[in-house]
Structure 1
Amino acid sequence: MIKKIKTDQLRMGMYIQDFNCGWMKHPFFNKTAKITSQKMLEKVVNAGILELFIDTDKGVDLLDEKAEKEQKMKVQNKLNEIAEMKLEEVASVPLEKEIEKAKEIKDEAKNTVQNIMEEIRFGKPIKTEQAENVVDKMVDSIFRNQDALISLGRIKKTDEYTYLHSMSVCVLMISFGKHLGFDTRQLREIGIGAMLHDVGKMMVPPEVLNKPDPLNGEEYKLMKEHVVHSRLLLQKTKGISDISILLASQHHERMDGNGYPDGLKGDEISLYGQSAAIADVYDAMTSQRCYQKKFEPTEVLRKLFEWGKLYNQELVQKFIKCIGIYPVGSLVRLDSGLLGIILNHGEKSLLHPSVRIIFDTNKDQFLSPYDIDLSIQSGKDFQDKVKCWESGEQWNIQIEKYM
């Protein structure tokens, strides 16, 4: 039986009868495919396909409504369990004070990546001094308040994606490394590796790199070669550490061995590579691209759990605790029905952050913005908390206007 389903309903064992798009716009050679690995599932999601057709006679059917609800609830309960843990780190500088400095650092980082990549395109060597200077500033900002740069990293222009993605992965990796207990030297080295992890894309034909539609099979092969190009470029650059090279070389490797370029499996992938794989896919999927809609952060965190064979699940849990189940800049609904934007995470738990309230769903009206700290609501009979994330697009809310 042929059924039309949403891409987020796709699961292992399903037989895709029709990708619901031209063959040039999906990542497989054939117009049909059976999902036999988590990697194939990830490729379909990343291709930006919203709906497709499956044949239930040739593969597994949809989960029934009850089973699907139970599966989602199981993942949500795990996320909430992590969110209820007491936070170990508190920012030393308020977000509103750090945000202006962070904006300057973001612009400098984007320009640095752009300059380095353009010089590589013209055959010039990488000037590591530029990257080192801005990474040092990023490390300092993250120690003051990591949420400033992380929240700004979510705001990207489509035509600057390649540069801003490198900047964002750098921010996420420094923040994650700090959470994992890396020393300052290691933070600088993973920062350099993350900032330069995609420099090999400058060796990919421009018509493939800048194609506004999903890549076909042959183009996808060419794009995958960017990792090898990055490794070679960094290996011949003086002053680049082994940690930086490992991170750039392994950010597309997967725990089940179905990654690239080397097909490494499990502990064959370094801690830096395993961490970078999580940060890279998180930023890619939460970014809007011309051929792919962006996912809300909480959706991506759920998928990282669902794709358990691809990523180190212990690191996934630590990553969630580092950035929050509802990261700064997320639009959320409170139990009271109010909508607000996460400003920072309180000491109590990730479910009790500081929130900028902007909309009341009970009255269906915008409010004059005001801030509340959900971790301190003394004197109230009703203890409000975050219930779920909401889509800014659905509510016609431009989150950056309220940050």
Structure 2
Amino acid sequence: MEPSTLLRIAIGEARVGMFVHALDGSWLDNPFWTRSFTLASKGDVARLQRSPVRSLLIDLAKGLGPSGAVAVTDEGGSRRVAVPTPIARPRLASAETRELRRAAAILHETTRELRSLFEGVSSGRGLDLAVTRDVVSDLEAAVRERPRALLTVTRLKTKDEYSYRHSVAVCALVTHFGRHLGLDASLVRNLGLAGLLHDIGKVAIPSALLGKPGKLSDDEMALMQTHPQAGYDLLRDEADLPEVVREMCLHHHERIDGRGYPAGLSGEAISMPVRILSICDVFDAVTSIRPYKDAWSSETALARMSQWHGQFDPVLLLRFFQGIGVGSTGMGVGARIDHTAQAQLVGISHV
């Protein structure tokens, strides 16, 4: 058998002219969307090194390797190989390029509309619920048609638009997760509405506090923790907004062990939609690049979030990661949600 010319390298060894056979980790961490491509410029390398990816598999037969490259054989041995001249290839196939462009256009438009919606609420004009539902429908359709592309571009958040893109990303994640769980379509739409609106109470928080780098003081944290109640109050008079959506906005920072806020709910007092939203909210936050922290990879998020005992519903947490292609289906996760939880889901699916 001919030995393979594939070599796994650390992200710091990446350089222009390498042919990437595959990136280690979840597809959500891939900043290029396509699986295999040539690193054609310094910008490509920088983009890769800014991502959560920590290692990659390169093909020495199709591009450059690091100094003293070693190709790994199929039997697990190794041999020295000559470094060939890189083959000029398009970094992205045209279809994949179009997918990313469509996803970026959808993200730009939904972010613009969400900013307008939030500014309307902040100025006292109220929530345009018809527009809000349209945004959710557009995102739900987009994430169904091109989930990788849309969820990839939502990872790219600037400081000024973080809050808006975070809400768009959470909306995309909860609708994707809801469909993965096989939930009723009306419940999936309500999850999407809550994902889009869950942080609307932050319009009442000073912008300097929202963008502050580093740890918040006790007083600042106490003020920040008022945003769920503020959001609920802002949405209280929206007669056409389902109560389950307001409930999710109010309680998305509750914890299974009762140490969350604002009400300190615990266990079965926390509804299934709230549990779903809280997982998606935290996942997007920890896997996003912020001015004061690096983004975690999806695998790191799985490992760490799974260790935060008492914060999340453990069954739903692993179902979520399975739904985005991270983790093994043999990790002790039940094939079905328990009967109590399923009944709860059915009970509110038409609210």
Task: Give the SS at the match of 1:120.
Answer: helix
- Give the distance between the partners of 2:295 and 2:152, measured in 1 at CA: 15
- Give the distance between the partners of 2:236 and 2:175, measured in 1 at CA: 21
Aligned to 1:147: 148
Does 2:173 correspond to 1:172?
yes
Aligned to 2:12: none
User: Deviation at 1:152?
Assistant: 1.6
Q: What amino acid is the match of 1:247?
A: M
Task: Give the SS at the match of 1:114.
Answer: helix
Aligned to 2:322: 321
User: Deviation at 1:187?
Assistant: 1.6
CA change 1:158–1:118 in 2 (3 A) is same
- Give the distance between the partners of 2:110 and 2:239, measured in 1 at CA: 21
CA contact (8 A) 1:274 1:311 kept: yes
User: Deviation at 1:126?
Assistant: 0.9
- Give the distance between the partners of 1:209 and 1:254, measured in 2 at CA: 22
Deviations 1:314-351 (A, max 9, x none): 0011101111218xxxxxxxxxxxxxxxxxxxxxx89x
- Give the distance between the partners of 2:186 and 2:149, measured in 1 at CA: 22
Task: Give the SS at the match of 1:158.
Answer: coil
CA contact (8 A) 1:255 1:310 kept: yes
CA contact (8 A) 1:250 1:274 kept: no
Q: What amino acid is the match of 1:317?
A: L
Deviations 1:230-280 (A, max 9, x none): 111122123211221122112101110000001000111011111111111
- Give the distance between the partners of 2:311 and 2:212, measured in 1 at CA: 27
After superposition, where does 1:3-402 map in structure 2 within 5 Å?
A: 98-325=99-326
Q: What amino acid is the match of 1:248?
A: C
CA change 1:95–1:173 in 2 (3 A) is farther
User: Deviation at 1:123?
Assistant: 2.1
CA change 1:253–1:95 in 2 (3 A) is farther
Task: Give the SS at the match of 1:311.
Answer: coil
Q: What amino acid is the match of 1:250?
A: H
User: Deviation at 1:137?
Assistant: 1.2
Q: What amino acid is the match of 1:236?
A: D
- Give the distance between the partners of 1:269 and 1:229, measured in 2 at CA: 19
- Give the distance between the partners of 1:322 and 1:243, measured in 2 at CA: 23
- Give the distance between the partners of 1:115 and 1:308, measured in 2 at CA: 38
Structure 1: 5+ residue stretches without partners: 1-93, 327-348, 351-403
Structure 2: 5+ residue stretches without partners: 1-94, 330-351
Q: What amino acid is the match of 2:189?
A: R
Alpha-carbon RMSD? 2.0
Q: Give the TM-score normalised by the residue count of structure 2.
A: 0.63
CA contact (8 A) 2:258 2:264 kept: yes
- Give the distance between the partners of 1:190 and 1:297, measured in 2 at CA: 22
Q: Give the TM-score normalised by the residue count of structure 1.
A: 0.56
User: Deviation at 1:206?
Assistant: 2.9
Q: What amino acid is the match of 1:219?
A: E
CA change 1:239–1:308 in 2 (3 A) is same
User: Deviation at 1:97?
Assistant: 5.6
Q: Could you list the runs of 4 or more consecutive aligned residues of structure 1 that deviate by over 6 angstroms after TM superposition?
A: none
Task: Give the SS at the match of 1:263.
Answer: coil
- Give the distance between the partners of 1:205 and 1:157, measured in 2 at CA: 18
CA contact (8 A) 1:250 1:273 kept: yes
User: Deviation at 1:103?
Assistant: 1.9
- Give the distance between the partners of 1:266 and 1:216, measured in 2 at CA: 29
CA contact (8 A) 1:98 1:141 kept: no
User: Deviation at 1:217?
Assistant: 0.7
- Give the distance between the partners of 1:317 and 1:96, measured in 2 at CA: 31
User: Deviation at 1:287?
Assistant: 1.1
Deviations 1:263-317 (A, max 9, x none): 0001110111111111111111111212222212211111111113211110011
Aligned to 1:58: none
Deviations 1:24-61 (A, max 9, x none): xxxxxxxxxxxxxxxxxxxxxxxxxxxxxxxxxxxxxx
User: Deviation at 1:119?
Assistant: 1.9
- Give the distance between the partners of 1:288 and 1:159, measured in 2 at CA: 13
- Give the distance between the partners of 2:179 and 2:195, measured in 1 at CA: 14
- Give the distance between the partners of 1:229 and 1:317, measured in 2 at CA: 31
- Give the distance between the partners of 1:244 and 1:128, measured in 2 at CA: 12
- Give the distance between the partners of 1:215 and 1:306, measured in 2 at CA: 24
User: Deviation at 1:113?
Assistant: 1.6
- Give the distance between the partners of 1:214 and 1:111, measured in 2 at CA: 29
CA contact (8 A) 1:108 1:134 kept: no
Q: What amino acid is the match of 1:260?
A: Y
- Give the distance between the partners of 2:293 and 2:100, measured in 1 at CA: 28
Q: What amino acid is the match of 2:167?
A: S
CA contact (8 A) 2:103 2:146 kept: no
- Give the distance between the partners of 2:295 and 2:308, measured in 1 at CA: 18
Percent identity for Structure 1 against Structure 2: 32
CA contact (8 A) 1:95 1:145 kept: no
- Give the distance between the partners of 1:129 and 1:212, measured in 2 at CA: 36
The structure carrying a bigger strand percent of its residues is 1
User: Deviation at 1:221?
Assistant: 0.3
CA contact (8 A) 1:249 1:273 kept: no
